[in-house]
Structure 1
Amino acid sequence: MMTFDPLGDGISRVEHLDHMGDDLRVVNAARISFDRESHLECDDTGQWLQDQDEKLIGFLAENEHVSPFFHPQICLRITMPSFLAHQWWRSTVGVSRSEVYRRYVVAEPQCYQPPHWRLRAQQPKAGSGTGELGAERQAALSVEVERLYRDIRTLYGQMIQEGVAPELAQAVLPQATYTRWIETGSLHYFVRACGLHTGPMAQRELRLYAEAVSEIVGGLFPVSWKALTRHTAA
């Protein structure tokens, strides 16, 4: 099972659970229109698509014939801070998600602590610029944030022990709290989602997640992924 820790904190995760189909599935989903079917070339070294089938995938992507790319399905388990998850979930077409439900789960919350505090960009849509707070303030702010997280975890635990319903106790948790969900989507969905979060205006942390997803899905569908990422707009 392929697993990545995009934020490098030992908590964040992108995990490949399973998938259905391959590049040939895309080809035959297109060829069925003419009641035709392709097969892989084979020899002692392995199996691969025929040249004509690779060209067909390129043609489909370039001309936005996207329906064949909806047939392959990929299932991932993603662990991400809530403030990032809300942006990732902006992509909704061709995907189904099932999230950990803190109405029932009362495990101690885990929170993301950014290793660096970037400064705001002059251009609002860019989010953050290349500059950072000074080293002294960086260190002091990190201590303050960790203290805040610790106090919130303590308060949350006390509320649970006192019998407060978890569905209400979770209201005190910060947006930095990690959440986890299973995401099953089409090949085309993942191309669009990753394209949205790897563009020049994408948040750095989301870009790291998108790169991890790209490594997984692109490795499973190399021909289709290359063609789609060349031609598909986010």
Structure 2
Amino acid sequence: MVKLQSDVSVELVKHSASDSDVLWAARVSTAGEQSLEEIHKDPERSKGLINFLMRDRHGSPFEHNSMTFFISAPIFVFREFHRHRVWSYNEESGRYRELQPVFYVPGPDRKLVQEGRPGKYVFVDGTPEQHTLVSETMEESYRASYAAYQKMLEAGVAREVARAVLPVGLFSSMYATCNARALMHFLSLRTKDDRAVVPSFPQREIEMVAEKMEALWAGLMPLTHAAFNANGRVSP
């Protein structure tokens, strides 16, 4: 049974990340082994240091932490995601498991029409007729491609061969691990935010993933997140 969905999911599965990680990493340059004392102190008292590091782009103290996310999204989102090379990824494999018939269709609030030329274009709302056309055409294509996939599997064709007929709208899942500096770089490119000093024009579907990741990270490192926003959403 083909399943259609218009949302993505992001789960924080494990982490070692807090604002104090930034502080002890930064203070080793002047305090040496005494910087370890920062581990047990309230980071709120040193939020000015975090802001200074962010403002002046002293980036390495933001790397001494780790977050692992479990992400479910269309394959075309992952192909953009994998351009971020300092992350670690493990994605489900179409060679080793039968891929499930879960496919992406845009939700009613997804802007459908591109206006303007490359480098200077905007997306605007589609008409009800265009939304209907997109949904119906995608569903028809998905059902046909998954039926072809199943037909080959039933005939004994290897999964790694049969998967070639499946479209990039198929949902996949992966673990993605990063540190806060890498995540800020990702967010600076994959979200559109009025506070950003450098404009970004992300595809909406990867922005949906980024928004969910940012909300989880903000809960872990609120002072770092606030400094990121206060300084133009530029990765240090």
Query: Same fold by TM (over 0.5)?
Result: yes
Amino acid at match of 1:122: G
Query: Alpha carbon RMSD of aligned pairs, Å?
Result: 2.1
Which residue is equivalent to 1:202? 202
1:150 equivalent among 139, 143, 149: 143
| 1:31 aligned to which of 27, 33, 36 | 27
Instruction: Give the stretch that moved more between structures: 13-22 or 204-213.
Output: 204-213
Residue equivalent to 2:5: 9
CA distance in 1, matches of 2:122, 2:70: 28
The counterpart of 1:109, out of the listed 101, 105, 118, is 101
For residues 58-113 of structure 1, give each alpha carbon's deviation from its aligned partner in whole angstroms, at most 9, with x where no partner exists.
111111111110001001011111112211222112x1111101110113331101
State the distance in 1 between where 2:115 and 2:10 align.
Answer: 28
Distance 1:123 1:219 in 2: 39
Aligned residues: 218
Give the aligned partner of residue 3 of structure 1.
Answer: none
Instruction: Report if aligned partners of 1:61, 1:228 keep a CA contact under 8 Å in 2.
Output: yes
The 5-angstrom pairing of residues 1-234 of structure 1 reads 9=5, 12-34=8-30, 35=32, 36-37=34-35, 38=38, 40=40, 48-51=42-45, 53-93=46-86, 95-116=87-108, 118-125=112-119, 129-132=123-126, 134-199=127-192, 200-231=200-231, 232-233=233-234
- The answer to whether the Cα contact below 8 Å between 1:108 and 1:153 also exists between their aligned partners in 2 is no
* TM-fit CA distance, 1:213: 0.7
Query: Offset of 1:121 from its aligned partner?
Result: 2.2
Is residue 80–residue 178 contact of structure 1 (8 Å, CA) maintained in 2? Answer: yes
Deviates more, 1:213-222 or 1:224-233: 224-233
Q: Determine helix, strand or coil for the equivalent of 2:89.
A: strand
Moved beyond 3 Å, runs of 4+: 8-11, 125-128, 229-232
Alpha-carbon distance between aligned partners in 2 of 1:106 and 1:127, rounded to the nearest angstrom: 39
The whole-number CA distance in structure 2 between the counterparts of 1:86 and 1:126 is 23
| TM-score of the pair, normalised by structure 2 | 0.84
Residue 100 to residue 126, structure 1, CA distance change in 2 (3 Å): farther
Distance 1:124 1:29 in 2: 42
State whether residues 189 and 201 of structure 2, in contact with CA within 8 Å, keep that contact through their aligned partners in structure 1. no
Q: Which runs of 5+ in 1 are unaligned?
A: 1-7, 42-47
Q: Percent identity?
A: 27
**Amino acid in the other structure paired with 1:15:** E
Verify the 8 A CA contact 2:6 2:105 in the aligned structure 1.
no
Deviation at 1:10, TM superposition (A): 7.3
Compared CA separation, residues 151 and 114, structure 1 to 2 (3 A): same
What runs of 5+ residues in structure 2 fail to find an aligned partner?
A: 193-199
